[in-house]
Structure formats: C-alpha cells, structure tokens
C-alpha cells in the first residue's frame, strides 16, 4: 500500500512536475530532500552528540526543555498546541515592542525552549536555565524566596556562597536596568515577560561557572525573590541579548564578544553553546549583523530572499527590508511578512501536492498526513541573507512534526505587513550559528551538531 502510493507520487512528479519546473534532469536532485520522517521524530532516549566543536574554550551542552535530554523531568510536557500558542504570545510581545509606538521598556518576551546548565556561586551550584538571545538580564530564583515556582534543582541560596554580593542602588549597573528600584540601598530589578511571567529580586554579583575551566568572577545577575510563570522547572534564564547587562557583554574581557551555538535537530539529541573562539572557521558564511536603535536587545540580519525547491521566490526584497528580520533563539516558528509567507506557502504546496493534506496545527496552516510512507520527498528551502549567503535549511527546520499524520510547514506569516520578520529556532536547527558581535556579523555553518 505504502510503496504503491510512493510510486504513484514519484510518477506524479515525473509527469506533472518536471515539465513545469525542471528543464534539466538534474533539477530533481536540487529540488528535494528525501528523508525518512522518523528521523524528525524525537526518540525516547537521549543520544548525546559528541560534535561539540572544540573551536572554543568554553562549550556548554544545550538541550531542548522537553524531551529525554532535558535535565528537567517535567511531569507533563506541554502538547504541540500549547507550545505553538506560547510561541504566538512571544511573537506578540516582540511585535508590540518593535511597533512604531514605543511599548514600555522592560517588558520582555515569553520564555524560550533550550536549556543550559551552568554554575552559580562558590562553591558552584548547578542551575539549569533557559537560554535566550531575546533578553539581556540573567536571573535565577534565590532563597529566601517570597514566591518561587517549583524548579528541578535546589534553589540557589546566596548565604551559602562565599563570593556573593548585593549590588547597591548607587552602582551604574543598577541604572542600566530597564526596571530598577531600591530597598535599603540594595538595587532591585524586575522583568515582566510577554506571556505574563515575571521575576523580581535583588541585583547581585557572584562567580558564574560556564565550564569547569571558565569562570566569570563578579557576574551580575538577578537573584529572584518573587518569580511567577511557566519556566517549566528551569531555575531561571541566561540572557544573551546585546545590552550591557547580558552575559555576552560581561564575558567580553574573557572571551571577546563572540559566541556560537548549535540547536539539535530533535529533543532527543544535544547541541552546544560556546563563548569565545575564532570566527574564521572555514565553512561558516557570514552576513552583516544589523542593529535597530529602538530595539537594542535584538540581533537583526538582512533576509533578502527565499528559495524553495532550488528556485528563488519572486518577493521584492523591500518586503523584508522595510520591517527587518530578528534572529531569535526563543521563538520556535519563523515569522515572515504576509506576502513572503504566502509566496513560500504556495511554492511549497505545489511541490508537496502529491501528499494528502492534513488539518492545520495552531499557527501552522500547511500540514500533511505522511502515514504509510517510509520515505518522503520534501522541497529544499534556503534563506538568502545580505552579503550573498544562502543557508540551506536542515529538514528538521522545514517540517514541524506533531506526528506522522500531521507534518506541517514550519513557517508562519505575520498578520501585519508592518511587523518584523523573525528567524525562529526551528530554522536554526543544526547550524553552527556564530554571533561575532565585535565584527558585527552573524555566521552559519552546516552540520554543527
């Protein structure tokens, strides 16, 4: 049954599709990935990737929050609708901040999806935190808690650390915060996230251990006394944004302002986050890192075109340049300006037309039922960035698989043509993504993890 339908599907392509798109017979190899969809589904056990690049002095393991590699063993993982609905609230928060009417500062995003485990204090206490390029301040829950949600590891207790200190209100570090206050001359911080989560506490400094041989002394972070929200048992958040308070700025002296990561293709494999290292690795291609002065936290880049099945979609580059494109580790699904998304969707649907379509999944409106196929052919998708670089997405960044009967194109359109584009973490999967802040460049290398 399955092989018959695959054969019919193949014939369909030879007969219908080739005359339209392909002039030369090589086209079919350039057009599709042939994959076993099981490779896109997570397994029950974690297979740790040893691929962590040795380029850099400090490499930390990155895992998906949900799934067998996560140190947080949640009693119940959210379902796909919940994950995608949360993604929508994060994107709404980004768009409300990037709107021309300035939203109030300090209002941050929803929470991201990848976890790293790092050490706070002396002796160090391991804490698993969400890593997020879309926010700046790092924070963890701290004892004594006024209100803490449940977390996996014991809550950090500053009184047990010999290197801990409060930061005073008169410090310039205090005035650099988006939201700050003062209690008995100690600096108080607050962050409100777009999904309603929040943290409030004392601005502190202590040793931050990234890897056993890489310690940042006097690292500034929030000691959260009143924390509410869906952080899913993570101890807090590691802020990799561009402002002064972020770990990237604080690590500058030790590592230079360069970091890189690889997000694993499924939640049953691992990736890495590294600080420092050289950006001149051979197969990494760079595009300019852009800045939006009204959105200083975010890393922007210049998306200029999209290729589907080896062909460039006819979308005017101004569709992208008018609104800008943010690189965000915490958004799941890439958002495109409406015109660009509908062009991508129709090209993708055309090349997938031999598969049965399936019901939409939350924000994903182009889904297929792939049950019964051992191999499927999915169109290649590449994003082209300024500087003439094209990045061929991994298959795990093209389809979002709820399961074999619901496999969806992992992109969505913005509802407003004035909203910025966002490159989400699905589309970053498996790339060695380099942020060379000093040279203002973002790089993509294939097969990072």
Ligand X SMILES: *[C@@H]1O[C@H](CO)[C@@H](O)[C@H](O)[C@H]1NC(C)=O
Rounded Cα distance, 224 and 145, in Å: 8
Least Å distance, CB 169 to ligand X, is 10
**Least Å from the CB of residue 349 to ligand X:** 20
Q: Which is nearer to ligand X, 3 or 183 (CB)?
A: 183
CB nearer to ligand X: pick between 128 and 267 = 267
Residue 128 CA to its chain's centroid (Å): 17
Is residue 328 flagged as an active site residue?
Answer: yes
Q: Which candidate in 87, 195, 328, 436 is catalytic?
A: 328
Half-sphere exposure of 359 (CA within 13 A, CB side): 6
Alpha-carbon span 236 to 229, nearest angstrom: 11
Question: Could you tell me which of 177, 105, 121, 186 has the C-alpha nearest to residue 154?
Answer: 121
Q: Closest Cα to residue 33, out of 430, 431, 392?
A: 392
Catalytic residue (choose from 132, 136, 195, 394): 132
Shortest distance in whole angstroms from residue 77 CB to ligand X = 12
User: Of 123 and 418, which CB lies nearer to ligand X in the complex structure?
Assistant: 123
Interface positions with ligand X (CB under 6 A): 79-80, 164, 166, 183-184, 186, 202, 361, 402-403, 405-406
Query: Residue 22 or residue 181: which is nearer to ligand X going by CB?
Result: 181
The distance of closest approach from Cβ of residue 11 to ligand X in the complex, given in angstroms and rounded to an integer, is 28
Characterise 75 by phi-psi region: left (phi > 0), alpha (psi -120 to 50), beta (else): alpha
Q: How far is the CB of 81 from ligand X (least distance, A)?
A: 7
Q: Which is nearer to ligand X, 320 or 400 (CB)?
A: 400
CA distances from 386 to 278, 313, 425 (A): 22, 16, 20
CA distance 146 to 410: 40
Say how far apart CA 339 and CA 362 lie, in whole Å: 20
Asked about 416 being catalytic, the answer comes back as: no
Residues labelled as active-site residues: 132, 328
């Amino acid at each position: 049954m399955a092989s018959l339908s695959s054969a019919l599907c193949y014939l369909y392509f030879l007969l219908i599709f080739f005359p339209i798109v392909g002039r030369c017979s090589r086209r079919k190899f350039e057009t599709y990935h042939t994959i076993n969809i099981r490779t896109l589904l997570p397994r029950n056990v974690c297979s740790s990737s040893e691929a962590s690049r040795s380029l850099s002095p400090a490499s930390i393991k990155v895992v998906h929050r949900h799934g067998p590699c996560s140190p947080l063993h949640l009693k119940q993982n959210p379902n796909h609708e919940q994950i995608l609905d949360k993604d929508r609230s994060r994107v709404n928060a980004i768009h409300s901040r990037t709107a021309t009417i300035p939203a109030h500062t300090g209002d941050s995003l929803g929470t991201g999806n990848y976890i790293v485990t790092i050490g706070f204090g002396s002796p160090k206490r391991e804490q698993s935190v969400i890593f997020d390029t879309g926010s700046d301040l790092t924070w963890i829950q701290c004892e004594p808690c006024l209100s803490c949600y449940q977390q996996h590891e014991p809550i950090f207790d500053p009184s047990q650390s010999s290197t801990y200190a409060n930061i005073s209100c008169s410090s310039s570090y205090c005035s650099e915060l988006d939201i700050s206050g003062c209690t008995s001359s100690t600096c108080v911080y607050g962050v409100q996230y777009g999904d309603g989560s929040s943290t409030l506490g004392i601005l502190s400094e202590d040793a931050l251990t990234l890897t056993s041989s890489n310690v940042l002394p006097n690292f500034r972070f929030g000691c959260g006394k009143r924390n509410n929200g869906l952080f899913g048992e993570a101890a807090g958040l590691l802020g990799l944004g561009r402002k002064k308070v972020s770990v990237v700025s604080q690590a500058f002296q030790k590592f230079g302002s360069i970091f890189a990561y690889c997000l694993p293709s499924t939640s049953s494999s691992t990736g890495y986050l590294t600080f420092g290292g050289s950006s001149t690795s051979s197969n990494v291609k760079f595009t300019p890192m852009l800045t939006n002065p009204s959105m200083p936290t975010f890393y922007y880049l210049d998306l200029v075109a999209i290729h589907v099945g080896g062909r460039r979609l006819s979308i005017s580059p101004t569709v992208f340049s008018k609104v800008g494109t943010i690189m965000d580790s915490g958004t799941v699904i890439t958002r495109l300006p409406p015109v660009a998304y509908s062009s991508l969707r129709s090209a993708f649907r055309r090349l997938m037309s031999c598969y049965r379509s399936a019901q939409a999944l939350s924000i994903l409106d182009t889904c297929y039922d792939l049950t019964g196929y051992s191999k499927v052919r999915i169109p290649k998708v590449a994003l082209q960035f300024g500087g003439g670089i094209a990045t061929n997405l991994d298959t795990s960044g093209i389809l979002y698989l709820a399961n074999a009967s619901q496999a969806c194109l992992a992109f969505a359109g913005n509802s407003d043509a004035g909203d910025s584009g966002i490159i989400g973490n699905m589309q970053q999967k498996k790339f060695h993504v380099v942020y060379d802040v000093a040279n203002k460049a973002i790089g993509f290398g294939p097969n990072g993890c």
